Every structure is written in structure tokens, then in C-alpha cells.
């Protein structure tokens, strides 16, 4: 049987598939039988005579005993793929280039591609929130840890050192009580002896913000805006990475110098690499070979456009409040 089958394989290699097709039905089925016959080494999918069937051949060979050899040749073909320490690495100009896998602007939808560029620092369209709170007492002061609260008290005492705070018809009950306690009903002073009560009294703080502490109020608004924006961007970033990790492994990456610039490499999960190649071969039977795409980035993008669509991710309406509170404390002293 082998000698007879050798002639059949030779016939196939010489471009005789049309005569063989009625007997084997598909090229993939022919490859499976050739593999079982132990003659798989005779098949070269990159033979010019077989170019019209290259995709089918590669699919069959990737499912055969010749899989690793064919996989290595495919890797050599792709300009943006290397193997480093046993890992398949995809080369990008920068992290923002990953945005090509994400959906652009659509009707009534987010521009995910632009959001990814922004997350990786390659966009002039950064999101800025004009207003993230209407109450810095509630959203900043009440969320301060003891260290930052003490720091704010010290800032206020220093700012109001020696200042006679004159009472008016809008003064809080606490302010009137303090003025009486200090022996002068028309004004009060703030120092280390009463700052704890002052800072815990919302009505008093609002009065002070409208008068003597307006600059500090603006600084507190800035603290919250920075914390809010950072928490929001962190959540978006996390959702982007979760999508990228469907194919890549974000934990394995490296940046390297290329001339005067830096490039970026990211691991492609082994099984996902093979799945992506096979999907592209299936999609392009009788159409484009892998050489047409040249690199893994183009292959994956083509798959997404012709499959389930370019990637998207959840864009939150607002960030996690606990994360905002964390950043309020992290950034607090930087604003004074």
C-alpha cells in the first residue's frame, strides 16, 4: 500500500489534486490519511504547485504529527512573531498599537479604539471630569484617614492663625458657641484647641469655604477630581487588559530599545496562537494565504473583523467609590 500511496502523494505534490479529489473529498481528509500512512513528511505546504491549497494543507498539517514543524515554519513567516524562552512573543511599536483589535466609533457606541489609546497614554483626547462631587465635606473630609485629617487640620489652623472670623446671620451654631466660649460674641478664632470640632461640623466648614477657606475648598475639589479620574481610568484599564488576555498574556511582556525609540513585546498564549492561525486559514480558504497578512497582528485583526467582531469592554458610568476614597487619601498631601 505504501508504494502505491507514495505515487498518490507524489501526484498530489505535482498539482494533481483535481484527479484525487473524488477519492478523498477534502485536502484535510487527504492529509489525515497521508499522516496515518506515515508519509506526511512528503507534503510541503509551501510548494508553489500547492499554493491554491496551502490553507487547507496547513490546517491538516497542524492537526497531524507534523504539527510542531509546521508551527515553527509559520512562526518564521510572521514578521512580528518570535520565540523567546519558549514563549511566543508578538512585537508591537508600542502598547497603543493594541488598539487595532478594538472597535472604533459606532452609532450610539463608545470609541473603544480611542479609549484604549488613551489608557496607554497615546491620545490627546483624555477624559477630564469638570465636576466629580458637589460636597467635599462628605466625599473628601469624611473619607480622610487619621493622618490626612490631622494634616488638613494643621493646614487650616496655619491658614487662620490670628484671623478674627466675624460672625454674620449665616454663621453656624458651633461658631456662635465658640465665640461665646472665647468671650467675644462678634467673632471667633480657630486654633488647635477647637479645630477637631470645626472640621467635623459641616455647616461651619461650608461657611468657612464660602469665606476664609475658599482656596482650601478648591484644593479639596481638585483632590477628589484627581482621585475620581484615576479610579475611573484604573477600572477602564483593568477591563481593557481582561479583553487583551483572551489571546495574550499581559503578565509576560517586555519593552526594548529599537534605535532611538522603544518597542513592546507581549506573549501570545500558545493555544490561542494556534487557534488564531487555524481560524484565519479556515476563513481564507481559496482566498488569502498567511503571506498576504505578513504578521500575527494583521491575522488576528482579520479574524476579529470576519468573526465575532473587534473587541469591546465595559465602560463604567462611574468608578468604584472605595477606590476613589483610596486615591483621595493617596493624593491628598500632594494638593497642599
**Which pLDDT tens digit goes with each residue over 312-325?**
999 998 999 999 99
Pairing relation of β-strands 261-268 and 87-92?
A: antiparallel
Whole-angstrom distance, CA of residue 168 vs CA of residue 133: 27
φ, ψ dihedrals at 96, nearest 5°: -65, -20
pLDDT of residue 122 exceeding 80, the answer is: no
Mean pLDDT of all residues in 104-125? 80
Whole-angstrom distance, CA of residue 201 vs CA of residue 310: 52
User: How is residue 17 written as a grid cell?
Assistant: 489534486
CA distances from residue 300 to 148, 191, 247, 281, 294 in whole angstroms, order as listed: 49, 65, 9, 11, 11
Burial 165-199 (b: 16+ CB within 10 A, else e): bebeeebbebbeebbeeeeeeeebbbeeebbeebb
Q: Let me know if residue 249 belongs to a domain.
A: no
Write down the mean pLDDT value for the chain.
91
106: pLDDT confidence band, cut at 50, 70 and 90?
A: low
Lowest mean pLDDT among 88-92, 119-123, 205-209, 289-293: 119-123
Residue 264 near residue 251 (C-beta atoms within 8 A) = no
Neighbours of 225 (CB within 10 A): 18
- For residue 49, what pLDDT is reported? 84
Lowest mean pLDDT among 34-48, 143-157, 303-317: 34-48
- For residue 180, what pLDDT is reported? 95
- For residue 13, what pLDDT is reported? 87
Q: Let me know if residue 278 belongs to a domain.
A: no
Q: Which of 135, 145, 130 is nearest to 205 (CA)?
A: 135
Whole-angstrom distance, CA of residue 230 vs CA of residue 96: 19
Q: Let me know if residue 111 belongs to a domain.
A: no
- For residue 174, what pLDDT is reported? 96
Lowest mean pLDDT among 48-62, 164-178, 267-281, 292-306: 48-62
- For residue 4, what pLDDT is reported? 79
Q: Residue 39's domain spans which residues?
A: 2-77
Residue 44 near residue 50 (C-beta atoms within 8 A) = yes
pLDDT digits (tens, 9 = 90+) for 210-260: 999 999 999 999 999 999 999 999 999 999 999 999 999 999 999 888 888
Contacts of residue 121, Cβ cutoff 8 Å, sequence gap at least 6: 96
Instruction: Domain count for the chain, please give it.
Output: 1
Q: Which of 240, 249, 294 is nearest to 267 (CA)?
A: 249
Q: Let me know if residue 32 belongs to a domain.
A: yes
Q: Let me know if residue 126 belongs to a domain.
A: no
Amino acid at each position: 500500500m505504501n508504494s502505491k500511496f507514495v505515487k498518490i502523494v507524489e501526484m498530489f505534490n505535482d498539482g494533481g489534486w483535481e484527479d484525487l479529489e473524488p477519492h478523498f473529498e477534502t485536502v484535510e481528509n487527504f492529509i489525515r490519511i497521508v499522516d496515518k500512512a506515515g508519509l506526511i513528511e512528503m507534503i510541503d505546504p509551501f510548494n508553489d504547485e500547492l499554493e491554491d491549497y496551502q490553507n487547507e494543507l496547513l490546517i491538516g498539517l497542524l492537526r497531524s504529527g507534523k504539527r510542531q514543524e509546521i508551527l515553527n515554519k509559520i512562526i518564521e513567516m510572521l514578521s512580528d512573531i518570535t520565540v523567546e524562552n519558549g514563549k511566543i512573543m508578538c512585537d508591537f511599536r508600542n502598547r497603543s498599537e493594541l488598539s487595532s483589535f478594538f472597535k472604533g466609533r459606532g452609532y450610539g457606541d463608545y470609541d473603544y479604539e480611542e479609549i484604549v489609546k488613551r489608557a496607554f497614554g497615546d491620545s490627546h483626547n483624555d477624559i477630564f471630569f469638570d465636576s466629580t462631587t458637589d460636597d467635599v465635606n462628605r466625599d473628601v473630609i469624611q473619607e480622610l484617614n487619621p493622618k490626612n485629617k490631622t494634616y488638613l487640620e494643621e493646614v487650616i489652623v496655619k491658614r487662620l492663625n490670628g484671623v478674627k472670623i466675624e460672625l454674620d446671620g449665616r454663621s453656624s451654631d458651633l461658631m456662635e458657641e465658640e465665640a461665646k466660649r472665647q468671650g467675644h460674641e462678634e467673632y471667633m478664632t480657630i486654633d488647635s484647641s477647637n479645630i477637631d470640632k470645626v472640621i467635623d461640623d459641616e455647616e461651619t466648614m461650608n461657611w468657612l469655604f464660602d469665606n476664609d477657606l475658599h482656596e482650601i475648598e478648591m484644593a479639596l475639589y481638585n483632590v477628589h477630581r484627581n482621585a475620581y479620574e484615576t479610579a475611573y481610568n484604573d477600572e477602564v484599564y483593568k477591563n481593557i487588559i481582561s479583553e487583551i488576555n483572551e489571546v495574550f498574556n499581559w503578565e509576560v511582556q517586555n519593552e526594548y530599545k529599537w534605535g532611538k525609540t522603544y518597542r513592546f513585546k507581549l506573549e501570545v498564549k500558545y493555544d490561542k496562537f494556534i487557534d488564531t492561525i487555524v481560524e484565519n486559514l479556515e476563513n481564507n480558504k481559496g482566498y488569502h494565504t498567511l503571506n498576504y497578512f505578513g504578521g500575527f497582528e494583521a491575522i488576528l485583526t482579520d479574524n476579529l473583523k470576519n468573526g465575532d467582531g473587534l473587541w469591546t469592554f465595559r465602560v463604567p458610568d462611574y468608578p468604584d467609590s472605595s477606590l476613589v476614597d483610596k486615591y483621595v487619601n493617596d493624593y491628598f498631601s500632594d494638593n497642599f
